[in-house]
Amino acid sequence: MEEKRKVKRDEVNPMGYYESEHTKNVRDWKEVFDFLIKDPTFLPASPELEDDEMRTLSNQWPENPPQFSLLMFAREVCQEYAREVEKLGYKLLELIALSLGLPSNRFNGYFEDQLSRMRLNHYPPCPCPELALGVGRHKDAGALTIVAQDDVGGLQVKRKSDGVWVPVKPTSNALVINVGDIIQVWSNEAYESVEHRVVVNSERERFSIPIFFFPSHYVRVKPLEELVNEGNPPKYKPYNFGKFNAARNRSNFKKLKVQNIQISDFKII
Ligand SMILES: O=C(O)CCC(=O)C(=O)O
Ligand SMILES: [Fe+2]
């Protein structure tokens, strides 16, 4: 516990260990460890649009024990895994671009100073699983999320047609790919990001490892010009990803009275 505290993340540095993240203002039944794929990186100091101040964000790795104990993964193993999954992420972004009739490298430039991060999720057994969620319902704010999960199960996606929560059954040696909000905006809703949540159980702890592909802080996220025209006008106003991310970071650390920032805030009705 002492070691976890030393690398605890907060609003100033959201990288490291954390055990009280909030999703939509409800505390999640989990503990996490986050690190950046590109370390260090830069991002806006605050969500306020008129504030130009930037700050450096860097990883906090535990020093003791040298064999990083949270998931018994060594730092090098995590970094190597992240590098391999990053390649897969680029491949998937290329396929998505092609499927939209765009050049395969259309999205690559957005990730030059990416804010992508990897997360180690630990969901302990919960004495009252019907009263808590490992992660409350949400959509991932990035472009893509690639998740490795163990064999316990708990991830569920909401089926749009009837609102039923459908379990994403663990399949060994398979990864779960989530389309995130940014692909929804870039594609002007040709792709939709999926609402999902994680349920917990009273018997077994669960581990999962998502990698969230986030673009560079200066990217203005908006429907791609090639995909919009008079018949298909842009469905979203542009927003700055760094500012969006800063606003999200703020809300992840405390209970607010209002819903945190969403792409629907930029929707053109
Ligand atoms: O644990 C999982 O399977 C997914 C977690 C998740 O949705 C998230 O961290 O955004
Ligand atoms: Fe998620």
Coil, strand or helix at 7: coil
User: Tens digits of per-residue pLDDT, 44-66?
Assistant: 988 898 999 998 989 988 776 65
Top mutation candidate among 175, 208, 260 for ligand 1, by most atoms within 8 Å of CB: 208
Query: Among 25-29, 56-60, 65-69, 106-110, which is the least confidently predicted range?
Result: 65-69
User: Tens digits of per-residue pLDDT, 224-238?
Assistant: 999 999 999 999 999
Residue 69 has pLDDT above 60, yes or no: no
Residue 38 has pLDDT above 90, yes or no: yes
Ligand 1 contact via 139 beta carbon (within 6 Å): no
The CA-CA-CA angle for residues 224, 226, 230, to 5°, reads 100
Number of the ligand 1 atom closest to the C-alpha atom of 119: 9
Ligand 1 contact via 78 beta carbon (within 6 Å): no
Nearest alpha carbon, ligand 1 atom 9 = 210
Q: What is the DSSP string of 160-225?
A: TTT--EEE----TT--EEEE-HHHHHHTTTSS-PPPEEE---SS--EEEEEEEE--BTT-EE---G
Top mutation candidate among 119, 122, 196 for ligand 1, by most atoms within 8 Å of CB: 196
In the chain, domain spans: 2-246
Q: How many CB atoms lie within 10 A of CB 154?
A: 22
Number of the ligand 1 atom closest to the C-alpha atom of 206: 1
Q: How far is CA 102 from CA 91, 184, 224, in A?
A: 14, 15, 10
Nearest alpha carbon, ligand 1 atom 10 = 140
> How large is the average pLDDT for residues 205-233?
97
Residue 237, token pair as written in the block:
């106003």
How remote is the CA of residue 177 from the centroid of ligand 1, in Å?
11
Helix (H) or strand (E) holding 87: helix 75-99
ipTM of the shown complex? 0.98
Ligand 1 contact via 140 beta carbon (within 6 Å): yes
Check residue 106 and give left, alpha or beta (phi > 0: left; psi -120 to 50: alpha).
Answer: alpha
Q: How many CB atoms lie within 10 A of CB 1?
A: 6
Residue 197, token pair as written in the block:
């949540």
- We find that the CATH architecture of domain 2-246 is Sandwich (2.60)
pTM (2 d.p.): 0.92
Distance CA 266, CA 70 (A): 38
